Structure 1
Amino acid sequence: MSGISSASGILAARSALLAAAKAALDGQTDIDFYSGWQYPVTQPNWVATTDVHADMDPANIGPRRSQDETITLGVSIGAWLPGHTEDDIVAAFERAFSILNTIQTHIRTEDITLADTVLWCVPGATDSDGAVDEDGSGYQVEIATTFVCQHRVRAA
């Protein structure tokens, strides 16, 4: 695939994004990877693909019925650390954002086309929050982030 196909690139891009995250974080054994949210997680950190949104602008449909597709892929990134002092909270946020930064850097510098499934992929919106876990033994941070991709759909 070259970022151009005869049908939507949603599933291929979603799978390639998770593969890119795994490649970026290769060797880090304290991270779970999921192609959808799962519970319980088995490691203190996780990366999971979540929601997907695709949009096609009818204004750019060409005479051969080609069109550009913008795919927005959601990702959940989490980090849990024991304790909930101010230092523990800061460390949990730093760990979660370190995971995100590693993935973003890998995609921008090593895999901008997500293994040729899209024309390009860049980081999108990011929200984060954290809380003391239910039993008070640790602090958990979750980042909800997106990656925005461009794909072209064209008739064969």
Structure 2
Amino acid sequence: MLSNHQIDLVQDSFAAVVPITDHAAAEFYRRLFELAPDTKPLFRHGMAEQGRKLFLTLATVVDALDRLDTIVPVARELAIRHLAYGAQDRHYAAVGSALIETLRAGLGPAFDSATETAWTAAYTILADTMLAAVREAI
């Protein structure tokens, strides 16, 4: 569970990333493909479009962190779609690492330890929800 302070940290830091969305998305995928090269073939659309989808999804999740019950159905559907694309359980850790590294690089000193902890907690909730949905589906 996220505290109100953690939700504020995630939402405020995400707002600071929004102006650099294109750069952050490119950096995220660069880091993801470095950490898990086997994920690259899973992306069939142009990477600019994929980056927009990534940040739209992140925006939806970040906006609803104080209403986790609204995120769960979305996360479950997203997980099932990703399963069909070929995503594997181990990819979730790589995505989480790439996200944290991208935020750290993009936000610099504003990405302090409390903000990193908040993002890690938020991503863990999302990934655990998605992984549970995948396990139920197979």
TM-score range, shorter chain: 0.3 to 0.5
More strand by share: 1
Q: TM-score, normalised by structure 1?
A: 0.35
Q: Which has the bigger relative contact order, CA under 8 A and spacing at least 6?
A: 2
Q: TM-score, normalised by structure 2?
A: 0.39
Bigger CA radius of gyration? 1
Task: Write 1 or 2 for the structure with the bigger share of helix.
Answer: 2
